[in-house]
Amino acid sequence: MNDEQPTQSGDDGGAPQATIDLRAELRDTHVAEVLDTLDRELVGLAPVKERIRQICALLIVDRVRRRLGLISEPPTLHMSFTGNAGTGKTTVALRMAEILHKLGYIRKGHLVSVTRDDLVGQYIGHTAPKTKEILKKAMGGVLFIDEAYYLYRQENERDYGQEAIEILLQVMENQREDLVVILAGYAYRMDQFFRSNPGFRSRIAHHIDFPDYADSELMAIAESMLAAQHYKFSPDGAEAFAAYITERRRQPLFSNARSVRNALDRARLRHASRYFEQDGPVRLEDLMTIDAADILSSRVFNAENSN
């Protein structure tokens, strides 16, 4: 790289100092490409994307400082992602693993995604081997623990989750230069989890909240999902799906982009059935277009409904 150029200091006669082009560092490590991919992959989430960029800035500065001999304590990289289902937490974790690898903070850049069942055994002596096996797979990369609060069940004195927690805490502290742990889940439950397990909170430097999508953002997500599969809405279909979003988010178990994906899968099912039952040939345009009829027959528009 040629981004470090000596330049004379002021009139005090001091020694030449290096200057660093931090934006060139961003380009040379190809992290900018990952950030651009994240922007394309995820609609909205401006606060999340800004926080990821801030973390990148911190790590690039730390990387340059170390290269110039300014040794300091390595930054803590364990994270907590909080938010409702379908807000992009797993996608951001994947990109975060890629960023950390490109910047040299993890060896491999892979992500291992797990839940309680992957870590906690059902009988004495089963939990430690399960947890250690997952940690072995994750070493050199990122371990993403979804719904992490299920590891701790205060109401059950004989629950084996505490054993997994103790092993995780030890590894997060002693091997933090070879493993990054991201805990994820609903905000209020994660807060309870951290209060019950202060060891986790003290080891996590970055707490990132993922907001719910606005209706307009969910509509943009739907259009993007359809386009990726060579579908599109008709004007009436788009109007019907906008109404679907408004109605669906008032109902229980709404999961943001996940609910949108599920709704589109069902709309495509109705679309295919509708044309399959018709006599005569079907136009290519018809096979690509989701119409209002494919949306409005959803149970969401029925008072007895649910999804």
Residue 294: what residue type? Answer: D
pLDDT value of position 15: 55
pLDDT digits (tens, 9 = 90+) for 53-69: 999 999 999 988 888 88
Query: What residues does 182 pair with on adjacent strands?
Result: 79, 144
Q: What is the largest CA-CA distance in the chain?
A: 90
One CATH from 3.30.70.100, 1.10.10.10, 1.10.8.60, 1.10.3720.10 for 215-301: 1.10.8.60
CATH number of 18-210: 3.40.50.300
Query: What residues does 180 pair with on adjacent strands?
Result: 142
pLDDT digits (tens, 9 = 90+) for 108-163: 999 999 999 999 988 888 999 999 999 999 999 999 999 999 998 776 667 788 89
User: Across the chain, what does the average pLDDT equal?
Assistant: 89
pLDDT value of position 17: 66
State the pLDDT confidence band at 47, using cuts at 50, 70 and 90.
very high
pLDDT digits (tens, 9 = 90+) for 153-178: 776 667 788 899 999 999 999 998 89
Domain with CATH 1.10.8.60 in the chain: 215-301
- pTM for this predicted structure: 0.86
State the pLDDT confidence band at 16, using cuts at 50, 70 and 90.
low
**Which pair of structure tokens corresponds to residue 1?**
């790289």
Q: How many angstroms separate the Cα of 126 from the Cα of each of 143, 151, 164?
A: 20, 15, 10
- Pick the closest to residue 257 from 88, 35, 123 (CA basis): 88
- Other beta carbons less than 10 A from residue 257's beta carbon: 22
Distance CA 231, CA 291 (A): 11
- Other beta carbons less than 10 A from residue 233's beta carbon: 24
Distance CA 303, CA 51 (A): 41
- Reply yes or no on whether the pLDDT at 18 is more than 90: no
pLDDT value of position 14: 57
pLDDT value of position 3: 47
Backbone angles phi, psi at 164, to 5 degrees: -65, -40
Distance CA 138, CA 143 (A): 6
- Reply yes or no on whether the pLDDT at 34 is more than 60: yes
pLDDT value of position 12: 52
**Which pair of structure tokens corresponds to residue 28?**
């040379």
Distance CA 159, CA 241 (A): 45
Cα angle 54-49-77, degrees, rounded to a multiple of 5: 50
Query: What residues does 80 pair with on adjacent strands?
Result: 183, 207
pLDDT value of position 28: 83
Q: Is 92 exposed, middle or buried (0-12, 13-18, 19+ CB in 10 A)?
A: buried
Backbone angles phi, psi at 207, to 5 degrees: -105, 115
Domain with CATH 3.40.50.300 in the chain: 18-210
Query: What residues does 206 pair with on adjacent strands?
Result: 79
Distance CA 181, CA 166 (A): 14
Return the percentage of the chain with pLDDT > 90, whole number: 69
